[in-house]
């Protein structure tokens, strides 16, 4: 059975995206985004020594939108939603969350399950199954949970944004309905951990390759 990294890499090849360079547009932005990722991933114990943190910008060239490409990209999004839904579900059971952090996990988890259902309905028989996951300390400790939640929600916003121009108009309309909610999740959890809810005036656009790398670094993926 393929792990999520392999599944997303297959999607990446099919969409024919070029791997994005890892950088941000300003030194301040680089410091902010890298610090968030470094603290989150190191605190979850998921980053191997020597790994490089970074943010992938949007690909410079895109495949022409088509229904076949919509299927590949929306399945890519579905895999992200599966991860988020399972992450929040397990954290509510095991992380000892309290107060507003628990409320965030409850609300966000409900939304992510709805996103999974929405995408599966949209894809119909073309929907890919849920990936295998490895839920570790990130779902057993409130601080680690919050740090990884920031990474996942920022990642979801950047990944949806990064694939928007690759979709046909009907598929884009479906994706936008989810993107706006993911952006609210990201702002909410950032505020809970003392981060600026909207650190940049323009969001960075991540390629599928960059999203896959960052997701792998959270340590949530099975093999």
Prediction pTM value: 0.70
Domain locations in the chain? Answer: 4-217
Least confident of 33-37, 40-44, 179-183: 40-44
- pLDDT per position as a tens digit, 138-161: 899 999 999 999 999 999 998 898
CA distances from 58 to 85, 109, 110, 142, 185 (A): 26, 28, 29, 32, 22
The yes-or-no verdict on residue 170 having pLDDT over 50 is yes
Q: What's the DSSP call for residue 60?
A: S
Average pLDDT along the chain: 74
Domain at 4-217, CATH homologous superfamily: Ferritin, core subunit, four-helix bundle (1.20.1260.10)
Highest mean pLDDT among 29-33, 78-82, 135-139: 78-82
| Burial class for 81, CB neighbours closer than 10 Å (0-12, 13-18, 19+) | buried
pLDDT of residue 194: 95
Q: Which residue has the higher pLDDT, 39 or 88?
A: 88
Would you tell me how many other CB atoms lie within 10 Å of the CB of residue 191? 14
The arithmetic mean of pLDDT across residues 186-212, rounded, is: 84
- pLDDT per position as a tens digit, 66-104: 999 899 999 989 999 999 999 999 999 999 999 999 999
- pLDDT per position as a tens digit, 119-132: 999 999 999 999 88
pLDDT of residue 62: 52
Measured at the alpha carbon of residue 153, what is the angle toward residues 194 and 54, in degrees to the nearest 5? 85
Q: Which residue has the higher pLDDT, 155 or 213?
A: 155
pLDDT of residue 215: 73
pLDDT of residue 124: 95
């Amino acid at each position: 059975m393929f792990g999520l990294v392999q599944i997303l890499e297959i999607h990446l090849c099919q969409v024919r995206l070029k791997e994005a360079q890892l950088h941000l547009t300003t030194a301040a932005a680089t410091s902010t985004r890298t610090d968030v990722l470094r603290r989150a991933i190191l605190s979850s114990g998921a980053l191997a020594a020597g790994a490089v943190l970074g943010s992938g910008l949007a690909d410079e060239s895109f495949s022409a939108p088509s229904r076949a490409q919509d299927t590949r990209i929306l399945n890519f999004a579905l895999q992200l939603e599966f991860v988020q839904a399972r992450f929040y579900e397990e954290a509510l059971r095991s992380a000892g969350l309290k107060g507003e952090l628990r409320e965030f996990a409850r609300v966000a988890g409900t939304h992510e399950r709805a996103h999974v259902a929405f995408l599966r309905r949209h894809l119909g028989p073309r929907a890919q199954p849920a990936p295998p996951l490895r839920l570790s300390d990130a779902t057993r400790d409130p601080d680690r949970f919050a740090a990884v939640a920031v990474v996942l929600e920022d990642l979801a916003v950047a990944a949806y944004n990064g694939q928007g121009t690759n979709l046909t108009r009907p598929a884009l309309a479906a994706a936008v309905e989810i993107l706006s909610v993911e952006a609210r999740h990201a702002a909410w959890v950032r505020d809970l951990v003392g981060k600026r809810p909207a650190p940049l005036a323009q969001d960075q656009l991540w390629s599928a390759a960059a999203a896959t790398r960052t997701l792998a670094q959270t340590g949530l993926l099975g093999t």
